[in-house]
DNA sequence: CTGAAAGCGCTTACAG
DNA sequence: CTGAAAGCGCTTACAG
């Protein structure tokens, strides 16, 4: 049923239907109520494609994921962030389109096309790893964007974001592990998130330095995002870990879990022999035994802020905003001064 | 830029632009090539809203999630299925809209509205837990739908689905555990997925029976989806588990992981004292130590089939199809005849 | 406050 | 094979 037919059916004009259903105040309250009642009765809804064509607003927002994230199973933190976004957006009247992009290929088609074809009103972007051409696109089309979670190296001045302050997070870890005088220090990093990983590391190094510990680059261990990769990495270092007490700070909780698993498997005591500190505080961190000590990244703060700003940008009620959200230390079972 | 402007700019008519960009063969090959070249040059894309209005096709499909699933962190299997769907659909030219619905509330608005407002061309539905009214809606609007993964009790005859054969999965588990003569048998079930959980259980009971073991209802333990819940449940039964060797079949791997964690924490040997067998074979099953023995549900088979059928339904190239996909047993570390 | 009219940017008969 | 014309179902000046 079209709005014209519906209007005729209930005895008003098409504009009146439109105004009532769009909650305009250019319609008498009684009329509005009448139309709404009838709309419920006949289960009439305006066709969103036609609406969009007129208003050039689609009522859907895009969530942009880096493609190397595609497996939520590897990067469970992503699943967590995604959960939060879903939850948050359910209170707004927007639908959600999920779009992946691959920063390695030259095929940005999905993202680019969703802009050019006008399929979304704005984007929530996880990570700021877009290429220059994509940035141009955003500027050129003036499409509202809010970046969130982890930043890469070249942050644009004129874009909105809510990033976790990874440097500070690492710093907290460094200050904390600095207390563990008789423990050798390690850092497990990740090849997929180079920029953010080095931000975390630099903070860690600084925190340790302030405590009088000078971290050596050879104590950085490289692995990939994923429990298994960390498990394998740490297993390979097991001889060393047996020999000297070690405090390991990892890029993420996922790696920390892998590290813990490796120690347990090889009967190395956590936290007595090996202290382990993760980062993110993803839900899985407290689901397994022992529970992971970690640097808590406040997704529950970042996500609502980012969503809210995006809505305001779309409705042109706000302008650019940038914020680094500070994480905090949460000590649980895998690290303890004994 | 509109197609009219673009057409004028490159010296052809609007219909020619449309035909070329839609890959119609009502246009001369050279003309088509020319238009495509120019479109790339000027980065011209047809406005999808206007297209949809004319064709009443949106180029996006909806993925419908039960809302109690919203936390992918609890139900990690969901994250896995979602990953697979993303991967699969990336090869089709459809965008993806994610829609949650809550079968407990009377607010189906999100789902209902996406149908009435014509925002999607079809749905992939995880689980068949829709209410009758929603089913009516699907029939009434003739919107293409493919159901997948787990079925609830009242399966409609006239709908397409690719379900995992949960009964058979349970049956495999029963037959296998039937060999463990001196082990008491348990089943850990879940309150969120009653229908599917009892399907699994009935298969399990049957399998055991064929092996001469008669399962008693009091050996069903009830918990919630999530590692933690299973951990707590099993911890509460620890005295019993110490006393007699037990073989536990769980509704899902997630519960199996929780069960394993509980046993490890209380120094009960897995698999010697407690045998544990999960179901689903989600990626996490092999990421932790010890690796979970499980009944493998072939998501990699179900998802492509479901996606492909949905595309065909949308393009009216296919009609209804129904299939129960059989799982298979995968024995790893948490269950072993010793 | 309400309605007749124009137009958003496409696609698709239709005519040539 | 190509183009002029109509129309998809809305919204929004504009007139009253």
pLDDT of residue A138: 81
Residues 12-41 of A with CB under 7 A from strand C: 12-16, 19, 25-29, 31
Rounded to a whole number, what is the distance in Å from the CA of B255 to chain A's nearest CA? 11
The answer to the question of residue B37 being in a domain is yes
pLDDT of residue A72: 59
Overall size of chain A counted in residues: 338
A116 and B45 in contact by Cβ < 8 A?
yes
The answer to the question of residue B92 being in a domain is no
Rounded to a whole number, what is the distance in Å from the CA of B180 to chain A's nearest CA? 26
Chains A & B: contacts with CB separation below 8 Å: 138
The answer to the question of residue A245 being in a domain is yes
Using CA of residue B244, residue B245, residue B251, residue B252, what is the dihedral sign?
positive
Gap between the Cα atoms of B288 and A277, Å rounded:
18
Min mean pLDDT across A71-80, A158-167, B8-17, B145-154 is at: A71-80
Opening angle at CA B337, ends B259 and B278, nearest 5: 30
pLDDT of residue A194: 82
Which structural domain range is residue A14 located in? 1-56
pLDDT of residue B136: 78
Overall number of domains in chain B: 2
CATH code where residue A245 lies: 3.40.50.2300
Min mean pLDDT across A116-130, A241-255, A301-315 is at: A116-130
Determine the average pLDDT of the residues in A68-79. Answer: 66
Cβ pair A177, A275 in contact under 8 A: yes
A117 and B227 in contact by Cβ < 8 A?
no
Whether the bond between B296 and the residue before it is cis, its omega within 30 degrees of 0, is no
Question: Which of A17, A36, A56 is the last residue before a domain boundary?
Answer: A56
Gap between the Cα atoms of A335 and A270, Å rounded:
8
Question: Which of B56, B75, B100 is the last residue before a domain boundary?
Answer: B56
The verdict on A290 and A171 lying in the same domain is: yes
Mutation to test the A interface, candidates B72, B116, B266, most A Cβ within 10 Å: B72
The answer to the question of residue B81 being in a domain is no
Closest nucleotide (C1' vs CA) to B48 is C10
CATH code where residue A44 lies: 1.10.260
- The nucleotides of chain D lying under 7 Å from a protein CB are 1-13
A242 vs A269, A293, B291, CA distance in Å? 9, 21, 24
pLDDT of residue B338: 66
pLDDT of residue A80: 84
The answer to the question of residue A271 being in a domain is yes
The answer to the question of residue A154 being in a domain is no
Q: Which residue has the tokens 């897995």?
A: B270
Chain B contact for A95, CB < 8 A?
yes
The pLDDT tens digits of the residues spanning B270-328 come to: 999 999 999 999 989 999 999 999 999 999 999 999 999 999 999 888 889 999 999 99
Gap between the Cα atoms of A321 and A327, Å rounded:
19
Computed over every residue of chain B, the mean pLDDT equals 89
Work out the pLDDT band at A99, boundaries 50, 70, 90: confident
Count the helices and strands in chain B (H runs, E runs). Answer: 13, 12
Gap between the Cα atoms of B58 and B154, Å rounded:
31
The pLDDT tens digits of the residues spanning B69-105 come to: 556 556 678 888 888 888 888 788 889 998 877 655 5
Element (H, E) at B238: helix B238-243
Q: Going by DSSP bridges, is the β-strand pair B160-164/B322-325 parallel, antiparallel, or unpaired? A: parallel
The answer to the question of residue A187 being in a domain is yes
Gap between the Cα atoms of B243 and A51, Å rounded:
68
The answer to the question of residue B248 being in a domain is yes
Residues 23-52 of B with CB under 7 A from strand C: 46-47, 50-51
Q: Inform me whether the pLDDT recorded for B137 exceeds 90.
A: no
Decide which of B66 and A205 is more confident: A205
DSSP state of A34: H
Gap between the Cα atoms of B110 and B116, Å rounded:
10
The verdict on B171 and B293 lying in the same domain is: yes
| Residue B98, CB, strand D, below 7 Å | no
Search chain A and give the residue with CA nearest B264.
Answer: A289
Determine the average pLDDT of the residues in A50-68. Answer: 87
Chain B contact for A284, CB < 8 A?
yes
Structure tokens given for A83: 């959960």
Closest nucleotide (C1' vs CA) to A32 is C1
Read off the pTM.
0.89
């Amino acid at each position: 049923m079209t709005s014209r037919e519906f209007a005729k059916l209930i005895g008003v004009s098409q504009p009146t239907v439109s105004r009532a259903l769009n909650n305009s105040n250019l319609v008498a309250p009684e009329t509005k109520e009448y139309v709404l009642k009838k709309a419920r009765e006949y289960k009439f809804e305006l066709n969103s494609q036609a609406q969009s064509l007129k208003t050039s607003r689609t009522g859907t927002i895009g969530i942009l994921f880096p493609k190397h994230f595609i497996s939520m199973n590897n990067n469970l933190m992503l699943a967590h962030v995604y959960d939060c976004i879903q939850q948050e957006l359910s209170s707004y009247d927007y639908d959600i389109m999920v779009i992946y992009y691959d920063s390695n290929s030259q095929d940005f088609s999905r993202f680019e096309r969703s802009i050019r074809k006008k399929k979304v009103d704005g984007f929530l972007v996880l990570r700021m790893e877009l290429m220059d051409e994509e940035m141009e696109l955003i500027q050129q089309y003036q499409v509202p964007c809010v970046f969130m979670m982890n930043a890469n190296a070249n942050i644009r001045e004129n874009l909105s974001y809510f990033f976790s302050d990874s440097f500070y997070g690492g710093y907290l870890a460094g200050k904390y592990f600095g207390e563990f005088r008789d423990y050798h220090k390690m850092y497990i990093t990740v090849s997929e998130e180079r920029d953010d990983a080095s931000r975390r590391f630099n903070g860690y190094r600084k925190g340790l330095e302030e405590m009088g510990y000078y971290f050596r680059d050879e104590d950085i261990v490289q692995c990939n995002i994923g429990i298994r990769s960390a498990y394998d990495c740490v297993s390979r270092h097991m001889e060393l870990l047996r020999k000297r007490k070690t405090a390991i700070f990892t890029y993420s909780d996922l790696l920390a879990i892998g590290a813990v698993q490796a120690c347990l498997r090889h009967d190395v005591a956590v936290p007595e022999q090996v202290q382990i500190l993760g980062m993110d505080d993803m839900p899985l961190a407290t689901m397994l035994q022992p529970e992971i000590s970690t640097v808590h990244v406040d997704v529950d703060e970042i996500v609502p802020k980012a969503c809210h700003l995006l809505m305001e940008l779309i409705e042109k009620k706000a302008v650019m905003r940038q914020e680094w959200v500070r994480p905090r230390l949460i000590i649980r079972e895998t690290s303890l001064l004994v």
